[in-house]
Amino acid sequence: MAITKAEIVTWLEKITAVIQENKDYLTQLDSPIGDADHGINMSRGFTKVLEKLPSVADTDIGTILKTTGMTLMSSVGGASGPLYGTFFMRAGTAMAAKQELSGDDLYTLLQSGVDGVVQRGRPQLQDKTMYDALLPAVLALRAALDNGSSIHAAVETAVAAAAKGRDDTIPLQARKGRASYLGERSIGHQDPGATSSHLILQALLDSLENQG
């Protein structure tokens, strides 16, 4: 079954909820290797997204995602603001005018978002950033869809890949963002951005109630 607009709206609501739940946790992760604000930043941004949602819920999926991106862009700040902002704006542009999404659409949505992150932040794999969770997830989704998985199963695989990518940031020495200033002291800590990226994908999975 196709992913409905309602599920996309639910996705954004669930992101807000899960970010709220994990606000302190994300901020704690950002303490030893950052400036202790990632949870605060994300919570501020998605609280605004939730406020804006009703006004665009009746439009199309592209507009909903673009509005989300612009809202994050103008409310999150920090490194994650323009990155997630670009992620959702690009995803929205790619989904312009759509009222529902196929599995391939979902792949394009996520792939476009990740492309946006790469263009803005120029992360490489193993730099210890959100990209280490996002890229494996998108690749896993593609592979699963290619192997004939259902959308739900494919997203499940993607979430697992994101979780693994998140965990794999722990032993890495950061080469991008604030954590890079710590040099070897960044080793042994989980990247907050990779953690929030996993939560965002987990929220997607939790929203796909209608998918088999």
- What's the CA gap between 114 and 70, in Å, rounded? 16
- What's the CA gap between 190 and 46, in Å, rounded? 22
- What's the CA gap between 52 and 163, in Å, rounded? 29
Contact (CB, 8 A) for 24 and 38? no
Instruction: Choose from Mg ion, other proteins, ligand ADP, none: what does 66 bind? Cβ within 5-8 Å by kind.
Output: none
Shortest Cβ 31–other proteins spacing (Å): 6
Instruction: Choose from other proteins, ligand ADP, Mg ion, none: what does 48 bind? Cβ within 5-8 Å by kind.
Output: none
Contact (CB, 8 A) for 133 and 160? no
Instruction: Choose from other proteins, Mg ion, ligand ADP, none: what does 191 bind? Cβ within 5-8 Å by kind.
Output: ligand ADP
Contact between 177 and other proteins (CB under 8 A)? yes
When the beta carbons of 62 and 81 are compared against other proteins, the nearer one is 81
Q: Which of 81, 116, 165, 192 binds other proteins (CB under 8 A)?
A: 81
Given the rule CB under 5 A, which residues bind Mg ion?
30, 34-35, 37-38, 78
Contact between 134 and other proteins (CB under 8 A)? no
Grouping H, G, I as helix, E, B as strand and the rest as coil, residue 125 is coil
Contact (CB, 8 A) for 176 and 123? yes
